[in-house]
Amino acid sequence: MKIVNDRVYFKLLLFGSALAGKTTTLEWFFNHLIPQDMKVTDGIHSIKTSFGQTLLFDFVPIQASHNIIIRIYALTGQDYYLSTRRMFFEDVDGLFFVIDSQKKELTHNREFVKEFQSYCATIPELQKTTVVVLYNKQDLPDVESPEVLAAQLGLQKYPGLPVSAATGVNLSRAFTHMVSLMLNRLKEARVNDLQ
Amino acid sequence: MPTIKEILNAIIQRVPGVVGVILIDIDGIPVEVAGRFDMNQEDLGALLATCYRSYEQVGHDMGQPLRSIIVEYNDLKLCQSSMPRGLLTIVAGKDSYLGMIRLEAKRAIEYLAQNMADTRNVRETLMQEHKFRWPDNQTIDDILSRIKNEYK
């Protein structure tokens, strides 16, 4: 959480392997969940590769109230652009870890858990970040359950939800849960500041 | 000491062709803007910070600290300079002089660095200048209720 001028800024990331559904999740939030008058921009700002995948990030700022801005980034999942991802992990308030639940994606998911752990080891404040795991693509065949995936990936300590970014199942729950945790931190900060 | 806004406005006044100056924090949050930008400030801040940090990473891998980035578009020039806790970006017309822009950027950064030397003081000053008020519980609860109700 940052206070700049008269505004409080939150930073929310969507992180996970390539084609896990980060951009689709962000699009669903933008198209189905974020009230029209909270949208600062007409659409999602994307920097894409020539073949249509996220190059640096997809970005949406939300003006939740006159002085609360939530900035949401969906990061690239391409291994090729690994070196650009780390810079987004500073001053993060909330992180959706998007897991591709298909059994064949386990190795990729493990690589991203390892990457996330390396960020946690080098960016101490990341330990305080609210993390919610989205076990995506639960609507597809041949997927693992969130419980099994959490155990396989060592993500049991984080709350998680079975979701489908394609159909929107549970995304509303996940988003409101995340926003409420972040805003509760704002309530705490306000109380501490006023004391 | 001049305010941040005054420092940015002075650049526009002193350098012919400058159309806009934006100071962002290292994460891309707009701290102060002067002049005109034909795009949303939040988007602009996010893009500028990301570009800068990408080049910074390239420099890091080559063992070189990054000092500034110069970009030339068809009709505009953009000069982005790093400073403690932030990035200063000057946008000017194609006929403006890069040397002058860089000189003014350097000068402004000295003032801005003094102005922002103490983060806590700056934060408090900016909060006072902009009449910052903590959002109350009702505002926070309203946001949550509106997001919950949006999806039917």
A156 Cα to chain B: minimum distance (Å)? 26
**What's the gap between Cα B63 and its chain centre?**
26
Query: Which chain A residue lies closest to B135 (C-alpha atoms)?
Result: A67
Which two structure tokens, joined as six digits, stand for A67?
């002085």
Distance between CA atoms of residues B25 and A23, nearest Å: 26
Distance CA A35, CA A144 (A): 33
At A62, the pLDDT band (50, 70, 90 cuts) reads very high
Pick the residue of B33, B39, B143 with the most A CBs within 10 A to test the interface with A by mutation: B143
A80-104 residue pLDDT tens: 667 778 878 988 999 999 999 999 9
Q: In this complex, do B57 and A83 lie within 8 Å of one another by their Cβ atoms?
A: yes
Residue-by-residue DSSP string for A109-144: HHHHHHHHHHHHHH-GGGGGSEEEEEEE-TTSSSB-
CA separation for the pair A81, B62 (Å, rounded):
17
pLDDT, chain A, mean = 90
The secondary structure element, H or E, covering residue B34 is: strand B30-35
pLDDT of chain B along its 152 residues, tens only? 788 899 999 999 999 999 999 999 888 899 999 998 888 888 899 889 888 888 888 898 899 999 899 999 999 999 999 988 789 999 999 999 999 999 999 999 998 888 776 555 666 666 666 666 778 888 888 888 888 777 65
Cα within 13 Å of Cα(A125), Cβ side: 8
Of B54, B150, B151, the CB nearest to A84: B54
Q: What percent of chain A has pLDDT over 90?
A: 66
Q: Is B139 in Cβ contact with A68 (below 8 Å)?
A: yes
Bridge partners, A69 (sequence order): A9, A63
Query: What is A31-62 written as a DSSP string?
Result: IIIS-GGGBSSSS-EEEE-TTSSEEEEEEEEE
Q: Does residue A5 contact residue B31 with C-beta atoms inside 8 Å?
A: yes
Which DSSP category does A149 fall into?
H
Residue at token pair 């079975």: A162
Q: Would you state the pLDDT for residue B147?
A: 82
Do B92 and B76 meet the contact criterion of CB atoms below 8 Å apart? yes
Could you tell me which residues come within 8 angstroms of residue B64 by beta carbon, excluding any fewer than 6 positions away? none
Phi, psi at residue A158, to the nearest 5°?
-100, 140
Instruction: Please state, in angstroms and rounded to a whole number, the distance separating the CA atoms of residues B15 and B116.
Output: 23
Q: Which of the residues A2, A5, A73 would you substitute to probe the B interface, choosing the one with the greatest number of B C-beta atoms within 10 Å? A: A5
B146 → chain A, closest CA residue: A35
Nearest CA to CA, how far is B62 from chain A (Å)?
14
Phi–psi pair at B46, nearest 5 degrees: -65, -45
Exposure pattern of A34-50 as b/e (b: 16+ CB <10 Å)?
beeebebeeebbbeeee
How many other β-carbons are positioned within 10 Å of the β-carbon of residue B14?
13
- In order of A34, B89, B101, B104, the CA distances from B25 in angstroms are 26, 11, 20, 19
Q: How many CB atoms lie within 10 A of CB A73?
A: 25
Q: How many CA atoms lie within 13 A of A29 on its CB side?
A: 31
d(CA A31, CA A34): 7
pLDDT at A5 over 60: yes
Do A60 and B33 form a contact (C-beta atoms < 8 A)?
no
- Residue found under tokens 């008269």: A6
> Best interface-test mutation with B: which of A30, A84, A87, A182 has the largest number of B CBs within 10 A?
A87
Q: What is the CA radius of gyration of chain B?
A: 18
CB B130 within 8 A of CB A158: no
At A51, is the pLDDT very low, low, confident or very high (cuts 50, 70, 90)?
Answer: confident
* CA distances (Å), origin B82, targets B28, B67, B68: 12, 6, 6
ipTM of the complex: 0.73
| Chain B (33-92) residues lying within 8 Å, Cβ to Cβ, of chain A | 40, 42-43, 46-47, 50, 53-54, 57, 61
Q: Which of A4, A40, A193 sits opposite B29 (nearest CB)?
A: A4
Q: Which of A152-161, A170-179, B23-32 has the lowest mean pLDDT?
A: B23-32
